[in-house]
Amino acid sequence: MANDPQVNVQVGRLLRANTRACVAGCLPSQNFPPFGSLVSIDLGQEISAYGLVSDIHIDDDGLVRQLVTTPNISETVIQDNRVNRNVPVELSVLFVGHRSAGVISHRLPPRPPLSLDRVRACGEGDVCAFTSAGSLGYLRFILEAQDLPAADLLAAHLLQAGRAQRDHGDEQWFARAIDKVITQLRDDYVRLMPVLEALADVQRELGI
């Protein structure tokens, strides 16, 4: 992630995408954005797609599989594999909204990004702008996503966004977000309670 939390920094480039999600590749040596953080992809024509890092995938290959069997791997070999070898870290990104002509919408982007489009980690300003727009409708993308660890993805995202909002003066944002989550999941007790337990940890971490 960027050293300066206010600035959007390029973290990778697009490998593949569909209307709901995309996968970006970045070097293992890079400080890639953490799980749950907000990223944006410029689609051109004043449109940017927003998404959350929903999975970070590190592929193996034959060599790595062979190397892990050795008792002592020297640091230089580790660095070689991380820095030099052509095995990118894959970031799965779940789209949660877009910005079109300056207006943020919590709907899917009108089209997916294209190969090698730049993926940027959103700075705190962008995180606040996106999460404050509308009425948190984008949380549905997280809660409705199949085959994703929704509770942890939500917790990771709310930690990032809650911290940004708190630092920008809105201490109530986190409570509003939880309220929204409860609204969305209250008919599903079995799903809601683990989600809330995950969010309880976030609340403690945020200290609000």
Partner 1 sequence: MPLNYLGLQPQIQQYAQNANQSQAHFRQVLENARELFKTCASQPYDEIRKRCQGSGKRCALPLGEAFDQSYPPPAEHQPCMVLAADGSQIISSPHDAIPISLINTSLICMNTGSSDAPQISITSEILSEDRGGIEFNLLSEDLISLRRDVAELRILNDWTAPNDLPVAALRDGPLELYHEPRQGDQFEREFKNYIDGLAALAARDFTLAGYIDRTRAGLLGQMLAIYFEERSDGLAELRDTTLLAGILPAGQRSAIFALQSSSSDNYPEALRIHFFYLNVSTNDNDYIVRVEIPAWVAEDTDKVNRLHALLLAQCRIMGGRPYPYLLHRAHETAVVHFDEKAQLQDALAQELQRQGLDVPQPSNKLAAKGLQKRTRM
Partner 2 sequence: MSEPLHQNESIGIVTSGGLKENLHVRLNGTPQQVQEGSFIVIDSQDWKFYGIATDLQLQSIDPRYALEPSRARLPEELAGLLDRQTLYTNLVVLPALMLERGPEPDSADYSAWRRAIDSGDKEEPRPMPVKSIPAHHADAFLAGAGDVAEIFGKPEDESNFVIGYTREQDHPVCVNLDKLIQRSSGIFGATGSGKSFLTRMLLAGLIDHNRASVLVYDMHNEYGLDDTASDTGENVRGLRSGFGASKVQVVGLGGSATIRGSAPDFNLVLGYSDILPEDVELLTRELNLKETTATVLDALVQSLGKDKWFKAFKAMKRGATETTDGDKKVPAPDSVAFWANQNGVNVMAAEGLHDKLRRLFNKPYIVENPPADSIQALVEALKKGKHIVLSFGDYESDLDYLLVSNLLTRRIRAEWEQMTNEFRGKNGSEPRPLVIVVEEAHKLLNREMAAQTTFSTIAREMRKYYVTLLVIDQRPSQIYDEVMSQLGTRVCGWLGDEDDIHAVLSGLAGREALRGMLSRLQAKEEVLLLGWGVPMPILVHSRRYDELFWQDIKTSKKAGFDQAKVIKNLYGD
Residues at the site binding partner 1, with contacts judged by CB under 8 A: 29, 63, 66-70, 73-77, 79-80, 82-85
In sequence order, what are the residues at sequence separation of 6 or more whose Cβ sits closer than 8 angstroms to the Cβ of residue 188? none
C-alpha dist (Å) from residue 131 to 69, 199, 208: 45, 17, 18
Which of 60, 61, 179, 205 contacts partner 2 by CB under 8 A? 179
C-alpha dist (Å) from residue 168 to 125, 156, 181: 8, 19, 22
Please say whether the beta carbons of 131 and 142 come within 8 A: no
Span interacting with partner 2, options 52-60, 116-124, 154-162, 181-189, rule CB under 8 A: 181-189
Return the number of the residue (16 or 85) whose C-beta is nearest partner 1: 85
H or E, element range at 50: strand 47-58
The least CB distance from residue 151 to partner 1, in Å, is 34
* 205 near partner 2 (CB under 8 A): no
What residue 193 binds from partner 2, partner 1, none (CB within 5 to 8 A, per partner kind)? partner 2
Please say whether the beta carbons of 157 and 97 come within 8 A: no
* 203 near partner 2 (CB under 8 A): yes
Structure tokens at 8: 């959007």
Rounded Cα–Cα distance for residues 119 and 200 (Å): 30
40-155-59 Cα angle (round to 5): 60
Rounded Cα–Cα distance for residues 53 and 45 (Å): 24
The least CB distance from residue 53 to partner 1, in Å, is 25
The least CB distance from residue 196 to partner 2, in Å, is 6
What residue 58 binds from partner 2, partner 1, none (CB within 5 to 8 A, per partner kind)? none
The least CB distance from residue 138 to partner 2, in Å, is 19
Return the number of the residue (83 or 200) whose C-beta is nearest partner 1: 83
DSSP-assigned beta bridge partners for residue 104: 99
Site for partner 2 in 182-201 (CB under 8 A): 182-183, 186-187, 189, 192-193, 196-197, 199-200
Q: Which residues bind partner 2 (CB under 8 A)?
A: 175, 178-179, 182-183, 186-187, 189, 192-193, 196-197, 199-200, 203-204
